[in-house]
Amino acid sequence: MLKIRSIKKMQLLLEVARQEKKRIGFVPTMGSLHEGHQSLLRKSKKDNDLSILSIFVNPKQFFANEDFALYPRDEKKDEILAKKEKVDIILYPSIKEMYPDGYKTYVDVEQLSNVLCGESRSGHFRGVATVVAKLLNIVCPDKLYLGQKDAQQAVIIKQMVNDLNFPSKIEVMPTVRENDGLAMSSRNSYLSMKHREEVPVLFKSLKLAKYKILKGETSAGQIIRQIRSNITQNTSGRIDYIECVNAETLQPLRTLTGRVLIAVAVWFGRARLIDNIILRIR
């Protein structure tokens, strides 16, 4: 497993790989790897000749009051997991090289970036789209692997890749969960013991919503109310949002029809957790 910190070196190396007609799979991350990332890395290894992992805690997607400084970083543990998933190259770009003095260019995916998480984290997806565009230009992968847990991020990156004619294909892999349903996330490490006991309610509420919809409920309002009461009655979580939206446009729905994304974001102490399910409703 090669570890590369220089963007130029990475580009030269991958140019050679492409001349040799190697298929390149790419998993961009901010490190603090868990089983969710591992499932992406496994798929990348299975589908491609070269599997590339990037680890970069991107300052442009955090804001003044957010957890950039505290975001968990553990290169040693990440490297053990990367090796286990047979990653060929880890790219560790530096902030200085990614955003040198005088850096001025940003990617803004309109409309999709201002809803759901974009409402309370204004500018977050501009930072995400910008860094992913840069990483795609550096790695030029055949395939980019993302997780369904970050559903809005996946929709935005798909739109960007399409709009800006990046040649990479995108594969979105299912959310990986703990035994009690908690979606794997680096931010789960922020949870206190009390909150850790409460958080399985998120997926339980989403599953109950699915059950109600399969039984014939078509009102988004009813589903949102039911999830809200489930969370507020059973936990100390502070709800940021609960929404039923069209899974492609991310626009809110009144009546549940088509491909529906039911997404939640809830604060437990200093951990802001997100989760979602996607249903196809006739």
Q: Any contact of residue 132 with ligand PAF (CB under 6 A)?
A: yes
Question: Contact region for ligand PAF (CB under 6 A) — 23-31, 161-169, 239-247, 265-273?
Answer: 23-31
- Contact segment (CB under 6 A) with ligand PAF among 22-30, 79-87, 251-259, 260-268 equals 22-30
Residues 50-109 that bind ligand PAF (CB under 6 A): 58, 61
Cα–chain center distance at 169: 16
Q: Which of 34, 37, 124, 195 is catalytic?
A: 37
- Residue choice 10, 26, 28, 53 for contact with ligand PAF (CB under 6 A): 28
Q: Which of 78, 150, 198, 243 is the binder for ligand PAF (CB under 6 A)? A: 150
Question: Judged by CB under 6 A, how many residues of this single chain contact ligand PAF?
Answer: 10
Instruction: Determine the interface stretch with ligand PAF among 86-94, 95-103, 124-132, 200-208 (rule: CB under 6 A).
Output: 124-132
Q: Which is nearer to ligand PAF, 132 or 202 (CB)?
A: 132
Active site residue 37: yes
Whole-angstrom distance, CA of residue 146 vs CA of residue 137: 17
Full strand arrangement of the beta sheet holding 2-4: 2-4, 89-91, 50-55, 24-29, 143-147, 169-173
User: Does residue 173 bind ligand PAF (CB under 6 A)?
Assistant: no
Label each residue of 132-156 as H, E or C: HHHHHHHHCCCEEEEEHHHHHHHHH
252-263 burial, b for 16+ CB within 10 Å, e for fewer? ebeebeeebbbb
DSSP 36-86: HHHHHHHHHHHH-SEEEEEE---GGG--TTSSTTTS---HHHHHHHHHHTT
Active-site annotation, residues: 37
Residues that bind ligand PAF (CB under 6 A): 28-30, 58, 61, 128, 131-132, 150, 153
